[in-house]
Amino acid sequence: MRFHKFIWPAIWSSLTICIVILSVSILCKLYVSPPSVGNSTSISVKEKASDSDKIDLPIIMYHGLVKDKKLQNQYFISPDLFENDLKYLKENGYSTITMSELIDYVYNGAPLPEKPVILTFDDGFYNNYLYAFPLLKEYNEKAVISILGCETDRYSLIKVNNAYYSYLTWNQINEMILSGHVEIQNHTYDMHTYDHGRKGCSEKSGEALEIYKENFEDDIGRLQQEIIDYTGTTPNTIVYPFGYYTEKSESLIKEMGFKASLTCSQKVNKISRDPQCLYQLGRFLRPPGKSSSNFFKNILEN
């Protein structure tokens, strides 16, 4: 009786311990991280999901539209060719958007059309108003025009409307903004030049940061305030003259509140929810001599 009294509790205790050990072993196999091969697969899935979240965004760069064939070059194409571009995009399911719509997508998750594209005009020539604006209204499309403040101020005073050399006036700019077909962005007040070693609004070689910052902020800030005062809108994008930018210029525009920057690098942009993807965006220069089909297929299908 003493044997039974002491041996059975010992046996049950041993069985209980075995059951606990077995249970723990099973649970560990279920919950402990799988070997390195499994981890690699998990990361790959995450990467693929991240890639699928990115959208391709082509941005097209125009400057002026002129009818005289003798004056057409890589920066000035015919109004008819621009109209053919609009037709091609519409027929192939592309939708034109503004920089504000793009920024709203990245920052706030606002929806974008399935096949977005941005059309940009640099410098703010009067012929943008004369030829491009009526076509944008006719085809119900949008474009982003980046103006030079000094030229807009000058032509607002002299009121000379010449298709070949004049620039936009503030009245014309306001008319286009109110239509909903045109967005205005900042192309600097007067830094669209090669001035004493400065290329566009980039810093000169050896220029002290304090001096560069003062010149940069004075010029771009001046146009920024003028656009606010004259139109009631606030540009959110800096369009670098000649596409020149540096680490310093990128840092400064972010301090000034710009949400995006446009360069002249020819690439299709990969847009994600990361705001950093909005800086140093590339654009394709639209030259003459190519049909709309050839031009866009080369960009959109590669």
Fold of the CATH domain 56-300: TIM Barrel (3.20.20)
* CA 155 – CA 167 distance, rounded (Å): 6
* CA 11 – CA 6 distance, rounded (Å): 9
Q: Report whether pLDDT(5) > 50.
A: no
- 23 vs 298, more confident: 298
| Segment among 10-19, 58-67, 183-192, 214-223 with least mean pLDDT | 10-19
pLDDT band, residue 186 (cuts 50/70/90): very high
The Cβ-side half-sphere exposure at 17, using a 13 Å CA radius, reads: 6
**CB contact set of 157 (below 8 Å; sequence gap of 6+):** none
pLDDT score at 62: 98
- Mean pLDDT of the region 215-224: 97
* CA 92 – CA 95 distance, rounded (Å): 9
Q: Report whether pLDDT(240) > 80.
A: yes
Q: Report whether pLDDT(26) > 90.
A: no
pLDDT score at 301: 75
pLDDT score at 195: 77
Q: Report whether pLDDT(53) > 50.
A: yes
User: In degrees rounded to 5, what are phi and psi of residue 120?
Assistant: -120, 145
Three-state DSSP at 270 gives strand
pLDDT score at 46: 31
- pLDDT, tens digit, 9 for 90 and up, residues 121-170: 999 999 999 999 999 999 999 999 999 999 999 999 999 999 999 999 99
pTM for the full predicted model:
0.82
Which of 2-11, 33-42, 78-87 has the highest mean predicted lDDT (pLDDT)?
78-87
Amino acid letter, residue 110: A
pLDDT score at 52: 59
Cβ atoms within 10 A of the Cβ of 225, count?
13
Would the CA dihedral through 186, 189, 192, 198 be positive or negative? negative
- Domain spans of the chain, in order of start: 2-47, 56-300
Residue with tokens 């020149």: 244
pLDDT score at 13: 44
- Mean pLDDT of the region 275-293: 96
pLDDT score at 193: 87
209-231 and 247-255 helices, crossing angle to 10°: 40
User: In degrees rounded to 5, what are phi and psi of residue 199?
Assistant: -100, 110
Three-state DSSP at 235 gives coil
Terminal Cα distance for the chain, rounded: 89
User: In degrees rounded to 5, what are phi and psi of residue 56?
Assistant: -85, 130
Q: Report whether pLDDT(1) > 50.
A: no
- pLDDT, tens digit, 9 for 90 and up, residues 257-268: 999 999 999 999
What tokens were used for 68?
């005289």
* CA 187 – CA 33 distance, rounded (Å): 53
